Amino acid sequence: MQTDSSFTFVLFGGTGDLSMRKILPALFEAHRAGGMLADSGKIVAVARHVADRADYLEWVNEHVKPHVSKNGVDETAWASFLDRIEFVKIDLGKAEDFALLRDAVSGMPGIRVFYLATGPSLFVPICHALASVGLNENSRIVLEKPLGYDLKSSNAINDAVGEIFAEDQIYRIDHYLGKEPVQNLLALRFGNVLFEPLWRREWVESIQITIAEELGVEARGDFYDNTGALRDMVQNHLLQLLSIVAMEPPHSMDSDSVRDEKLRVLRALKPIDPRDISKVAVRGQYHAGVIRGNAVPAYATEPGVKQDSTTETFVAVKVEIENWRWAGVPFFLRTGKRLADRVAEIVVNFRAVPHSALGASALRGGANRLVIRLQPNETIRLYCLAKQPGEGMNLASVHLDLAFDQFFREGQMEAYQRLLLDVINGRLALFVRRDEQEAAWRWVEPILNEWAASNKPPKPYAAGTWGPAAASAMLAQHGTCWLEEEN
């Protein structure tokens, strides 16, 4: 992906965890690859915890370098990358400090990208401060999740940001949309006639989307205890993945065509009756347990978490889409912390054959399935039945693999790298439009409200397991199970 797009990339929260682990490493990989970033492009870090540029570069060497280039750092490329970086010390609470930023970037070339790797409470003050010094022109702004606490607060942030930046200047980032298998899901569906006739209710029995983490809340207890898994993961990542899986073929791959089709899916989600929430949504909270031989504490004893917290660390929910393609097909979404493994995957279970002369195994639901693995290794695997070698017609499950790292010689592009390049080059297709976000919040809110009003605590599950038993029972009612339970 070659570019001549000159840019000035301004990174708010330049010493934060996200900048350290994701944003700066992604920019370095684009720089190292050559041709992806214009030679004239500059990175301007904004923070208040270091004194000057020299101190900031020392911080980058210490905290960012360990997260780049798995096979070692090219020191020449690293040195030239550091040459791109400038630093401005700003107290984000002081609007007058933004004049320092204006002066620093005034002579820098190209489009200005403002990446807000900060808490959402700072989004609006930063936008107002940028406008006060005239930096909202010829610019793009990137907003990290969570964008609000509910529909009302999300709308308040979007209204305020929208007064300063036009919608086509606003890039609401969801890094799962930049992952290679998600892009390949679009290629498989819309580039191959093989799957299109099967991608509908007549042939699909159910779909599972899982984002599981082994980690707990780490140092984010204060934030997480006021957020929970439903807001942190379901409202954005999981519903975005669902919309990609279920969308109709877009007219083209331009930004509005893709996002229009995603929006149609989100608006077709069957509203949840509050009286049915206990039947279609499971919330859990991890207790002490063991993960890979290491004892881990309960959520309620994590730093920053209230001892009597009822915040969910696990959610499983059944979703239905009320349209001609998907009516009657259950989508099961699941996410949680301190689960048995770190995995993100989409599982498309196809229906069993209507009649089999080859035995009962061919009639088993899920004998044919497509598994799209997003992490830790990015693969697409198609399962089918084949005859076992030897006497008799005995069937066994086999699979065809597309392992990207083995098939393609060139290295894969990380999600943040792809998305940051899209921002610099003005491509909006992989970013969330405001109406998408509103539709997702609108669907999630009845669950949020019911759980807030309920006196029932989240269902407990031991760290190192796959969550509360109720999540498995919900699938069992539909004659199916989670993928790992089948094995």
DSSP codes joined into one string, 76-136: HHHHHHHHHEEEEE--TT-GGGHHHHHHHHTT--SEEEEEE-S-GGGHHHHHHHHHHTTTT
Residue 179 annotated as part of some ligand binding site: yes
Active-site residue, 355 included:
no
CA dihedral 172, 175, 179, 181 (to 10 degrees): -80
Is 92 marked within a binding site? yes
Look-up: residue for tokens 């892009």?
183
Binding residue per annotation — 333? Answer: no
User: How far is the C-alpha of 458 from the C-alpha of 309, rounded, in Å?
Assistant: 9
CA-to-CA distance for 399 and 29, rounded, in angstroms?
33
- Annotated ligand binding at 337? The verdict is yes
Q: List residues bridging with 306 in a β-sheet.
A: none
Among 231, 298, 215, 301, CA closest to 21: 215
Tell me the torsion sign for CA atoms 270, 273, 278, 283: positive
Pairing between β-strand 7-12 and β-strand 111-116 as defined by DSSP bridges: parallel
DSSP secondary structure, 27-66, as one string? HHHHHHHSSSS-TT-EEEEEESSS-SHHHHHHHHHHHTGG
Enumerate residues 6+ apart whose C-beta is below 8 A from 173. Answer: 142, 143, 144, 145, 419, 431, 432
297, two tokens: 């504490």
- Is 145 labelled as part of a ligand binding site? yes
The answer to whether the annotation marks 287 as part of a ligand binding site is: no
Dump the DSSP string for 255-312.
Answer: HHHHHHHHHHHHHTBPPPPGGGHHHHEEEEEEESEEETTEEE--GGGSTT--TT----
49 has binding-site annotation: no
Which of 237, 251, 355, 399 is catalytic? The answer is 237
486 assigned ligand-binding residue: no
Binding residues for NADP(+): 48, 91-92, 145
Would you name the residues annotated as active-site residues?
237
Q: Which residues are annotated as a binding site?
A: 48, 91-92, 145, 175, 179, 213, 232, 337
Residues of each annotated binding site for substrate: 175, 179, 213, 232, 337
